[in-house]
Structure 1
Amino acid sequence: MRYICLLLLVVVALGDVGFATPRLRSSAEPAKILESLSNIRQNSFLDWITSILGPEYSDSSVPAKRECASCACGNINTRHRIVGGQETEVHEYPWMAMLMWFGSFYCGASLVNDQYAVTAAHCVNGFYHRLITVRLLEHNRMDSNVKIVDRRVARVFIHPGYSTHTFDSDIALIRFSEPVRLGIDMHPVCLPTPSENYAGQTAVVTGWGALSEGGPVSDTLQEVEVPILTQQECRDSNYGDKITDNMICAGLVDQGGKDSCQGDSGGPMHVLGAGQAYQLAGVVSWGEGCAKPNSPGVYTRVSNFNEWIEENTRDACACSQAEEPAEPVSSTSTSEQPVAESESTTAGGQVTEGPEVEEANKLI
């Protein structure tokens, strides 16, 4: 009876909250981003729920060692990529994930092994993690007749260097309630090469964010190509000394027009590495407006956090980066090589196919 009453009260409370899809401004000043998130996340009744459900789950036991099959990371599910608005393959970026709060999309994330996803710290800081859902294999948010994989969040690790004022070290790890089954349709992105700064290379940013500043978020997964800037080029923009060594910038500085936008926060910025495998060079963090001249997108520089990620995901099955390019595969194939027994926008782009969180103790 206690839980029935609790459920009824939650339903009544949610009736006042509403379920309109939030438009998180990922390309905005840090203070504005946090203000937008505060409108999505907690309110007084959630604090009350927390008092009943208890504190965040924290498992201090040593995870049991699991058998892991060999697998490759960073391979997209098509070699056919056309920039200019044409639709490509569903599940082209098979590590792409979205975060949902009470069923509504609000941030992106990237699968990095069978148990964890990487996102921006500001996407989970202050959220009660039991109420976040991680969704994989999504493409069209409005199409319910598709195969998707949802996972509850068992634990959240926010980097201890994260600053809510400057967005330095804006990175977090999400541990799933149970592993996902890796295969052709779903496999992780590779971690970046530690010594590579990527300046001058072309990156691909993916997300369900808005197609223009102030516009609605996209129904379908979007991608956009952006050039990566040097640190000096980024500091010579409108940002100046706001750019720390833990950040990386990308975009067309002179004319704008291509950028991440509202709703893309936490999503990946990829760069092709060895063997034509995509590496997670950046995580969408912040910026001024969307695709504005002299205001490139700012991303978390993931290569500075490789050690921290590896240290805190030892209980997962990871994939390695192939030395030779993989053969093109079709995402319609049903063959899989499971490594776990459990199965339960972008502006200028194109269509592609809890209050408590835990800080990890490892500092870079």
Structure 2
Amino acid sequence: MCAAAVLAVVTPAASATESAVPPSTNVVGGTRAAQGEFPWMVRLSMGCGGALYTSQIVLTAAHCVSGTGANTTITATLGNVDLQSTSTTKVKSTYVYRSPTYPTSTGGDWALIKLASPVTTIAKLPIATTTAYNSGTFDIAGWGSATEGGAQQRYLLKAKVPFVSDATCKAAGGSYAGLISSAEICAGVMATGGIDTCQGDSGGPMFRRDASNAWIQVGIVSWGEGCARAGKPGVYTEVSTFAAKIAAAAATL
């Protein structure tokens, strides 16, 4: 499991339907999460992750869907670390809102999925509204591949990844040279790799504890080169940059 949601190749999803093919991403170098440890984690049927933003809205990545509009083809699974458990909650989508600035030079790899009915028994994950928590050590989790190119996981995996500065991230070269500093955050173990997000982790949250010791989401698994490669960190959507737009869009759904 890549400990820092990283996509092998960044390619937009084909559509917001079950046939969509998201970029590759999963948690590499992780361990199994305990039941109830991260209750707001969501698995989406097109092969992406997400987090419960409100009782009826899931926050995920724009590259996991094709556009804004009515959509009843996505199934959100939540409530259990074991995707095959009979106690999971499954809810269909009714609408998808895709960030209108993705993919552009200003970034914005985020999207909202409205569920057919609210999930009131599961905790939500608040998002960061300032840059105060955009550094330090982050947590990542997902059901994606545990190795680059590997199979998706049945059980939720978790890991920790350190912040990587914009300058260091850009110096990694390749796709990283085009990092959008105002809209993206990098994280990973630069020297050795070994921990990262991978295929299937796209759209999932990167999170940490805030000043009150409560969980807060600071990133969305977006892209990267391979999974858990040395010198190739994971790149995440900087949630605080888009917090106001996310809230405004959610209010219209």
Normalising by structure 1, report the TM-score.
0.60
Tell me which moved more, 263-272 or 188-197: 188-197
What aligned pairs does 1:35-74 form with structure 2 within 5 A after superposition?
Answer: 41=19
Q: 1:253 to 1:177 in 2, by over 3 A?
A: same
Structure 1 residue aligned with 2:94, among 146, 154, 164?
A: 154
Give the deviation of 1:166 after TM superposition. Answer: 7.1
Give the deviation of 1:39 after TM superposition. Answer: 11
Q: Are 1:234 and 1:296, in contact at CA under 8 Å, matched by a contact in 2? A: yes
Higher helix share: 1
**Which residue does 1:111 correspond to in 2?**
52
3-state DSSP of counterpart to 1:150: strand
Higher strand share: 2
Distance 1:167 1:219 in 2: 35
Q: Are 2:16 and 2:74, in contact at CA under 8 Å, matched by a contact in 1? A: no
Residue-by-residue CA offset, 1:85-143 (whole Å, 9 max, x unaligned): 66552121010001114xxxx11010011121100011111697211111111311233
- Number of residues paired by the alignment? 239
Give the deviation of 1:240 after TM superposition. Answer: 4.0
Q: Are 2:33 and 2:157, in contact at CA under 8 Å, matched by a contact in 1? A: no
Name the aligned partner's letter for residue 241 of structure 2. N
**Which residue does 1:229 correspond to in 2?**
164
Q: 1:240 to 1:313 in 2, by over 3 A?
A: closer
Distance 1:109 1:160 in 2: 19
Distance 2:176 2:6 in 1: 19
Q: Which runs of 4+ in 1 moved over 3 A?
A: 37-40, 84-88
Q: Percent identity?
A: 33
Structure 1 residue aligned with 2:155, among 195, 216, 220?
A: 220
Name the aligned partner's letter for residue 194 of structure 1. T
Distance 1:115 1:38 in 2: 17
**Which residue does 1:258 correspond to in 2?**
195
Q: 1:181 to 1:204 in 2, by over 3 A?
A: same
Which runs of no fewer than 5 residues in structure 1 stay unpaired? 1-24, 43-83, 317-364
Which runs of no fewer than 5 residues in structure 2 stay unpaired? 21-28
Residue-by-residue CA offset, 1:154-183 (whole Å, 9 max, x unaligned): 2111111001x779311001111121113x
What aligned pairs does 1:162-181 form with structure 2 within 5 A after superposition?
Answer: 162-163=102-103, 168-181=107-120
Q: Are 2:16 and 2:64, in contact at CA under 8 Å, matched by a contact in 1? A: no
Give the deviation of 1:196 after TM superposition. Answer: 2.0
Residue-by-residue CA offset, 1:3-46 (whole Å, 9 max, x unaligned): xxxxxxxxxxxxxxxxxxxxxx9512323x647x899616xxxx
Structure 1 residue aligned with 2:229, among 269, 280, 292?
A: 292
**Which residue does 2:24 correspond to in 1?**
none
1:189 aligns with 2:122: no
1:142 aligns with 2:90: no
1:305 aligns with 2:250: no
3-state DSSP of counterpart to 1:210: coil
1:198 aligns with 2:134: yes
Q: Are 1:116 and 1:313, in contact at CA under 8 Å, matched by a contact in 2? A: yes
3-state DSSP of counterpart to 1:125: coil
Q: Are 1:114 and 1:179, in contact at CA under 8 Å, matched by a contact in 2? A: yes
Distance 1:198 1:26 in 2: 17
Q: Are 2:129 and 2:239, in contact at CA under 8 Å, matched by a contact in 1? A: no
Tell me which moved more, 149-158 or 255-264: 149-158
**Which residue does 2:179 correspond to in 1?**
243
Distance 1:174 1:38 in 2: 10
Distance 1:142 1:275 in 2: 34
